[in-house]
Structure 1
Amino acid sequence: MLRSKQKPKVQDTGYVLFDVYYDDGSRRSNRRVPRTATLEMDADAAIRQVIEEQDRDIAEKSGRPPLAITKILRSDG
């Protein structure tokens, strides 16, 4: 008996890129956020939470305090 190939399941893998703007006027481009965070009910809050967590890790390693985020926009590229 031949088995038919099953269609692969769609997986929410990968990342979405965002530009992050800070209160000192600086910008960090192409910050990677897991695609699953963009699928949440409150996606804006989930995206901000991921980026703030990344900022805390970076600040801890660099010995500098994290900057306050003013806005987050999806990157064009």
Structure 2
Amino acid sequence: MTNYRRYRLDGGTYFFTVNLAERQRSLLTERIDSLRDAFRVVKNAHPFVIDAVVVLPEHLHTIWTLPQGDMDKM
């Protein structure tokens, strides 16, 4: 696996994209309620700010801001 160099900033804001393994599927929009529930569960366990989310049928883009002191979880 590639070892990417990343600049890690305590309490930083990050953009990332997540793709379904099966890009022909449209589970993210078909099961949007399950996705919302998953976001809620994770946010309750790990406080962070969801600045933006774009959900498409087979992938999503999101921008999250981590709280100060959250560097050790990256």
Pick the TM interval, shorter chain. Answer: 0.3 to 0.5
Q: Rg bigger for which structure?
A: 1
Compute the TM-score of the two structures, normalised by the length of structure 2: 0.36
